[in-house]
Amino acid sequence: MLKGRHLIDPMDFSLSEKDEIMDLADKIIMNPKLYADVCKGYILATLFYEPSTRTRLSFEAAMLRLGGSVMGFSSAESSSAAKGESVADTVKTISSYADICAMRHPKEGAPKIAAMYSDVPIINGGDGGHQHPTQTLTDLLTIRSIKGRLSNLTVGFCGDLKFGRTVHSLIKALSGYENIKLVLVSPEELKVPDYIKEEIQLKNIDFVEVDKLEEIMPSLDVLYMTRVQKERFFNEEDYIRLKDTYILDLKKLEHAKDDMIIMHPLPRVNEIAMEVDKDNRAAYFKQVKYGMFVRMSLIMKLLGVSIND
């Protein structure tokens, strides 16, 4: 039963619960109009302490498409956080107004604190370089929808694997499926954190770390590109030095499988050349739409609403 639960970490839900959310998302995709009023009378609060386009608008579009309403703020400066109000007090207040809350915060662990003080379900919309569980659900649904499975896959992650919360969350989630192989492509300075590698090793997941994308391209079923995130760097010189380390273009795709899929959590800077957008393997804009549908499903599950379908 998911009603009333919080989603802070991708591992908060079991594999069967994730499947339950994705199964409902599939039904919504097939007939979205059937779900147009299922959340009428409910309010979603979006508490975004740092900028976001896709995640915030995806949550808001999801709730509006379910017939509900939305309220919230899109930056810390436009909330009482600018006056020094704590996350605990903000959430305690907001949970008096709303039925469910999606939250993004630059500090790791902030949504977990929020969940301790909230009277309504809290959904982590990204906390610092830590976790991004609804992007993980989006990514899982994208892979399952296009590849038809979430097992027996070789998945490559390329770019900023140190600060990439989407990478950390998806690696953790994929580790629960059978016969998953991970290829981690990054410069030395942006390698996956040790705590993530330790979790992979504990689950006996095959993984390899390399610094060149071209040499492993033929083995991949999924390639997950990421941008080097300027906002996570304290030193701008380091950012400038590393930002163009990996740029995916059509030439690099010459030796990739015909049915490999290319994913990216977006926003893109220059790590995927525009020419790749027209390649049949490009799935990153499909991800955006899958994200809205999976958030529709998640909102329904956490609120405990359904239809007789």
User: What residues are labeled active site?
Assistant: 54-55, 83, 104, 132
Helix-, strand-, coil-residue percentages of the chain, each rounded to 5: 45, 15, 40
Give the whole-angstrom CA distance, residue 58 versus residue 160: 24
Q: Within 13 Å and on the Cβ side, how many CA atoms surround 90?
A: 27
Q: What string of H, E and C letters represents the secondary structure of 8-52?
A: CCHHHCCHHHHHHHHHHHHHHHHCHHHHCCCCCCCEEEEEECCCC
Nearest to 36 by CA among 304, 296, 291: 296
- Which residues, at least 6 apart from 83, have a Cβ–Cβ distance to it below 8 Å? none
Q: Which tokens in the block code for residue 301?
A: 């599950």
